[in-house]
Structure 1
Amino acid sequence: MSEQSGKISHEFFKESFLGKCGKKRPEVTAGPQFGVDVSIINLANGQAMAMASDPLSLIPSLGLSESARLSVNLVANDIATTGFAPMYGQIVLNLPAEFSKKDFQTYWDYFHQYCSKLGIAITGGHTGFIEGQNSTIAGGGTLVTIADQNQMLTSTLAEPGDAILVTKGCAISSVALLARSFPETVKNEAGAEHYHKACDLFYEISVLEEALLATSLDLEQGVTAMHDVTEGGVLGAIYELAVASANGAIVYKDQLPVSETQSRVCEVFSLDATECIGAGAMIITCKKEAVQKIISKLKEKDISCTEVGQITDQAKGIKLNTAGQASDLIYKEKDPYWEAFFKALNAGWK
């Protein structure tokens, strides 16, 4: 496995991109930053535009429908951190030359279907077919939303004293994708019941509903910031949010939501569920008095939400409390999911 698999590190970002993002324009209020999901551009009449981009997936073990679903939801999750739903999308597809017209029509029909369901108008993009293209990354997508400047959230807005909440659970996408990629292994090692539950977690990867529900409360007494969980897992996402907002944090590991299914599947692949790719969970920071209101609001829609820590002053650092002992939360630049996946693949696991 290449040392460069997965997202670039924070150090790579600083070395390669910091201060090298073209012309500085005053209306860009949030540009490329560590731990920030979207870019924000101020428009006229007190409006702002948020944009987010992500790779698009074409994964044989998932199939065309689920690849399209994953692609749309992962970009939409970034926009959801603003507290608003995506409105417009640009889709770029660079597909294998041997990809049939029938498969393309099926694949695109699912993009149309999932974007329509989320209220996204596809406004353009690019489609091409390339010899030698055999990657599971089929291109890239950008989603856009427009809302009032003073209502749009970013992960930079968390404040000391805020509670830290996690929706659903840890390692949602890791567990779902590993179960679907290595079904025989997961059935044999974790059991058929946990295999089926793990596969079903794939349909929990969207965080748009909980984001909109949480921010439907009065912002003055409610949500201050959100950050969707991706590489680095729940712990990595909390670390990123703390850095983005120039704060510290204390996280209680025994409060992190890990179901038996997530634990059992991660154990098969020697993974810690709190540290690996966890799309499907949202980190929410909020005022202490809003914690129970938000948890109750989400529970009405059968979305679990757990308080796991608190935002602190930056001087206190980012800490992980394990069994009553606090230590520095170590940020993993490389998500362990990738090593586990390729190790299983190379070992011929089925």
Structure 2
Amino acid sequence: MSDQGIPFGKVPPEILSQFALSRTGARRREVVIGPDIGVDAAAVDIDGDILVLSTDPITGAGKNAGWLAVHVACNDIAVHGARPVALLVTLLLPGESATAHLDRLTTDIDRAARDVDVAIVGGHTEVSGAVTRPVAVLTAIGRVERSKLIQPAAARAGDDVVLVGSAAIEGTAILATDFADELRPAVGADVVERAQGFWDGVSIVTAALLAAEIGAIAMHDCTEGGIITAVHEFAVATGLGVRVVVESIHRREETDVIASHFSVDPLALVSSGALLVAARRELDIASRLRDAGFQAARIGEFTATGRRLLLRGKSIPLVPPARDELWRLLEERAGI
């Protein structure tokens, strides 16, 4: 816990609404999408061109933080139907081993930026006594025609909720990498090696841009708090209710094995690499995404009211976890 009594991780929505979302500066006519719960990026109209912008820090990952930072930032752009084009990179480094940290982070960031075909156009780097380990904060910038901009408000009751990808891809990769020595004798070196390969699956840019082309009405990427939090955020952003069948949420075997070892809930574990899509039911967008080679399944639907999970046939309230399971585990291991 911090000195304000807020758990590490995302600031709870009610506190964010009180202290941040109520203080958003001047009103500008250029703003098409502004800050809100469950909204992944901002959109600004500059003389008819729509720029989509998003900022994300990486604080929970150790190794591969640079790679993850690029993909997390670009994912937020793509869910609005925009193609990422540029990145601003801010790196805060502790004094000890600063050069080594800088070398590792910039190598990973460059590699990931090439992977999604975006340019690094600026940023800021400094060594600071305010951090005890490296912190990467990336701002991604994308572009889309106004007629093709995807906004959460377009969803309506009766639309399918489709999950593209699997739960806890990012969280599984982090645990398999940062706790590899502990995991190998417990679950097997082969499981750990396969799970470390999940880093290659944290981008949803290609899937999101394809979904936008074939009829997605709204999209939301799954990050901190896992699939359960993402579904709740998606419903809040659309202003709708939602009903999701828990058993329809795809998980990989390696995720279940590693989650069981650490006694964490994979549905509340950070999940970059998974994408939620809202689409009209008649489009059967899940089938079309599977035909294109993506793991995709209809997991539920938007409703006029109420936010519920169906678990083994029983309807229960959809309540997002207080914090991501990764943060809970790291705090327990640190004795916080």
Q: Specify if TM > 0.5.
A: yes
Please give the alpha-carbon distance, in whole angstroms, between the structure 2 residues aligned to 1:171 and 1:342: 19
Please give the alpha-carbon distance, in whole angstroms, between the structure 2 residues aligned to 1:279 and 1:100: 27
- Match runs of 1:29-178 below 5 Å: 29-45=32-48, 47-56=49-58, 60=62, 62=63, 66-101=64-99, 104-131=102-129, 133-138=131-136, 140-178=137-175
Are 1:297 and 2:283 counterparts?
Answer: no
Please give the alpha-carbon distance, in whole angstroms, between the structure 1 residues aligned to 2:228 and 2:83: 25
Write the letter of the residue equivalent to 2:33. A
Paired position in structure 1 for 2:325: 336
Closer/same/farther in 2, CA of residues 175 and 150 from structure 1, 3 Å limit: same
Please give the alpha-carbon distance, in whole angstroms, between the structure 1 residues aligned to 2:100 and 2:329: 34
SS at match of 1:185: helix
SS at match of 1:274: helix
SS at match of 1:223: coil
Please give the alpha-carbon distance, in whole angstroms, between the structure 1 residues aligned to 2:333 and 2:94: 25
Alignment check: 8 A CA contact 1:57 1:70 kept: no
Please give the alpha-carbon distance, in whole angstroms, between the structure 2 residues aligned to 1:202 and 1:117: 12
Alignment check: 8 A CA contact 1:214 1:294 kept: no
Paired position in structure 2 for 1:184: 181
Alignment check: 8 A CA contact 2:91 2:135 kept: no
Please give the alpha-carbon distance, in whole angstroms, between the structure 2 residues aligned to 1:304 and 1:58: 26
Write the letter of the residue equivalent to 2:191. H
Write the letter of the residue equivalent to 1:337. L
Show CA shifts across 1:306-337 (max 9, x none): 11000111x3x011011111121112232222
Relative to the length of structure 2, the TM-score reads 0.92
Quote the offset at 1:126 in angstroms. Answer: 1.4
Please give the alpha-carbon distance, in whole angstroms, between the structure 2 residues aligned to 1:105 and 1:182: 23
SS at match of 1:153: coil
Deviates more, 1:101-110 or 1:275-284: 101-110
Please give the alpha-carbon distance, in whole angstroms, between the structure 2 residues aligned to 1:149 and 1:143: 18
Please give the alpha-carbon distance, in whole angstroms, between the structure 2 residues aligned to 1:58 and 1:127: 19
Paired position in structure 2 for 1:253: 246
Quote the offset at 1:289 in angstroms. Answer: 1.8
Gaps of 5+ in 1: none
Gaps of 5+ in 2: none
Quote the offset at 1:188 in angstroms. Answer: 2.9
Closer/same/farther in 2, CA of residues 100 and 242 from structure 1, 3 Å limit: closer
Match of 1:197 among 179, 194, 199: 194
Quote the offset at 1:147 in angstroms. Answer: 1.4
Alignment check: 8 A CA contact 1:97 1:132 kept: no
Please give the alpha-carbon distance, in whole angstroms, between the structure 2 residues aligned to 1:149 and 1:94: 35
Quote the offset at 1:86 in angstroms. Answer: 0.7
Alignment check: 8 A CA contact 2:163 2:277 kept: yes
Write the letter of the residue equivalent to 1:289. E
Show CA shifts across 1:175-230 (max 9, x none): 1111111113322333333222221112111111111222222xxxx210110001
Alignment check: 8 A CA contact 1:172 1:280 kept: yes
SS at match of 2:32: strand
Identity, in percent, stands at 26
Closer/same/farther in 2, CA of residues 341 and 105 from structure 1, 3 Å limit: closer
Please give the alpha-carbon distance, in whole angstroms, between the structure 2 residues aligned to 1:14 and 1:58: 23
